[in-house]
Amino acid sequence: MKEYEAGSLRNIAFIGHGGSGKTSLSEILLFTAGETNRIGNISEGNTVSDYTPNEIEKQISIGTSLMHLEWNNTKINFIDTPGYADFAGEVIGSLKVVDTAVMVLKSAEGVEVGAEISNVYINKYEVPSAIIVNKVDNEHSKFAETYAQAKDRLTPNAVVVTFPALEGVGFTTVIDVIKMKAYQYDAAGTRKVAETEIPDEFKDQAETYRTELIEKIAEISEDLMTKYFEEGNLSDEEIEAGLKAAIAGKGLTPVFALSATKAVGINSFLDFVVKYFPSPLDRNGEEATLKDKDQKVLVKPDSKGEPVMFIFKTISEQHVGELSLFKVYSGSVGAGLDLMNEKNNKPERLSQLSILNGKARKEVGKLYAGDLGAVVKLKDSHTNDTLSSKNFPVVIKAIDFPSPVISSAIVPKAKGDEDKISQGLHNMHQEDPSFVVKFDPELSQTIVSGQGELQLALAIKRLKERYGTDVDLVEPKIPYRETIKGSQDTIEYKHKKQSGGRGQFGHVVFKMEPLPRGQNFEFVDAIVGGVVPRNFIPAVEKGVQEAMVKGVLSGNKVVDVRVTLHFGSYHPVDSDDMSFKIAAAQCFKKGFMECKPCLLEPVYEITVKVPEEYMGDVMGDISSRRGKILGMDSDGSFQVIRGNVPLAELYKYSSTLRSLTQGRGQYHSKFAFYEEVPKEVENKISEEYRKQREEAHS
């Protein structure tokens, strides 16, 4: 493949609901452009983009796939992204590096939940967009209705560019409202398309859509608006220039009618991409920060500039090693180039560079600013890292991956696999940072978190396939806290041990009382007259602190207690640090049970965004989880519910919420505070802890 500079590049991502046809669309694009000589089929497991065993087995996209083709002397890089919410991180990572997001909708089903969620990301990251209404050959196709839904629920800037002459099973022709011509397509494998005049029965519809398009173009500038009002039309040159500017400026979202499986509308779409979609030059560069200086700079897609590249995805392949997918933001890169990883200050030498079509790699000598490619075996660089020259040490803003909404604990099925499990999980996090791994020392559990049950289940499956380790996913333990509600002035414990020779003796008298929530622990030395020698008092405090690590009720940490040492005694020979440490620990445990002990649980503040029609069901579910509603706000057609819910009641809540709202509900949570557990719940937890201890000692 010849080398392309920024003006001759188009970078697009196909996003949308699962099953909308993004993978099939990728197949027909590659075939139409001559990149492949056959059209792959998802059910046969032979598509270019869904090539991993899990994708073939489940017949869904799980990871993003990078592909490319050449059309009219332009290189089009395109990314096929997953449609399921569990893999939202893949979509977000792709939007970071493309210049246009292409939403794919099903003509019969209209705007589905995956499209709405993806649209939130388009708006958040301010990416120019387009819409493909796919599967217009479906017998229940409703192009006009789907277009109206897109305008209402996705963007009011949606405007038809091509529409079907006849939709349904006989769909073979699209009408282009810019060229005002009809394009009839032969069978998918022929690559044949014929330009004809618009049939009479569709001329009025074409004129209506064209007027709508020109009005939207006229809105981008006062000059165009004035001319349009005065003359009622714009010249072809003004339409072309205005259309390109409107798309790049996010003021217009073109809509296309397509059938990916029948290849109808494909050439029209490719022609439009080349002529009107923004190139990297039209995006005005990427904001970055100069390393070690809190100074913002604009990295422009200048092929003669200093080299800057950003890794947006890492793939670990068995026989290849680590493959880093990157975008060149400035300059050019080639094999043998030395760059610096600006995050960890480690040098990297680029080895073999390639461009991808799924897993197929084609080696290239050089890639210029704006282009996407892959490099193998970088030593210390992963997703979200910037590599740049020493002359221009910049850091591209990292991809903002979504916070996890579900967590599970890992339990190995075999002993001795811990190191392999840890390494495997670490590698999977580097490939997909939305898959989060952490070891919780308090709970002694490895916790994995992500965007949904499917993402976690597939991670565990890959752990077994790739690293030969078998694990179970279980509900994580809850980090309860224990405290007291009452006070006792005189709690006494005497540790006395005599077994021949020197014995042990420590005698302490405590006052114990609760502290305000969040004060944790206070130790007061109130000894008068040396009844407990000064040198033993640190051992008393240490004994109390060690006893607080594992409480009596549930084995969890004790908090918010003041202990005052106000009396005791000692033996001139048998007393030592250990004796007083043991006496203090036992005195604390005894006193704890005398001071109205109680259990505290972590409560999380949740923010739930749901369509209005599901609000009642969602609020009822929150109440059933011992939750308290704090308030509600409107956000368009959605309601945002704020509430507090105990962490113990939030396990797999994301799955329940999706079920209650047909996938349209989303939630975020963060720790708020600890509060007392209801007595019946406390009794159940304490009883389970008692049984565990008995089993451990039996």
All domains in the chain, ordered by first residue:
6-283 (3.40.50.300), 286-396 (2.40.30.10), 406-474 (3.30.70.870), 482-595 (3.30.230.10), 600-680 (3.30.70.240)
**196-200, 320-324, 601-605: range with lowest mean pLDDT:** 320-324
Q: How far is CA 672 from CA 540, 594, 643, 645, in A?
A: 33, 29, 10, 9
Per-residue pLDDT tens digits for 3-49: 899 999 999 999 999 999 999 999 999 999 999 999 988 888 889 98
Residues 273-293 have pLDDT tens digits of 999 999 999 998 999 999 888
Residues with Cβ within 8 Å of residue 297, at least 6 apart in sequence: 287, 288, 289, 290, 394
Contact (Cβ atoms closer than 8 angstroms) between residue 318 and residue 466: yes
pLDDT tens readout for residues 308-343: 999 999 988 766 678 999 999 999 999 999 999 998
pLDDT given for residue 496 in this prediction: 95
Which range has the top average pLDDT, 48-52, 487-491, 665-669, 686-690? 487-491
pLDDT of residue 10: 98
Residue % of the chain over a pLDDT of 70? 99
pLDDT at 320: 67
Give the mean pLDDT of 115-138.
Answer: 95
Mean pLDDT of the chain: 94
d(CA 621, CA 606): 13
List pLDDT tens digits, range 364-408: 999 999 999 999 989 999 999 999 999 999 999 999 999 999 999
List % helix, strand, coil for the chain (3-state, nearest 5): 30, 35, 35
Indicate if the pLDDT at residue 233 is higher than 90. no
| Residue 357, pLDDT above cutoff 70 | yes
Rounded to an integer, what distance in angstroms lies between the CA atom of residue 65 and that of residue 134?
Answer: 20
Asked whether residue 264 carries a pLDDT value surpassing 90, the answer given is yes
pLDDT for res 232? 80
- Per-residue pLDDT for 638 more than 90? no
Residue 358 Cα distances to 80, 325, 607, angstroms: 9, 12, 38
Please report the pLDDT score of residue 477 as a whole number: 94
* pLDDT over threshold 80, residue 501: no
Tell me, what's the pLDDT at 319?
A: 66
pLDDT band, residue 1 (cuts 50/70/90): low
pLDDT score for 392: 94
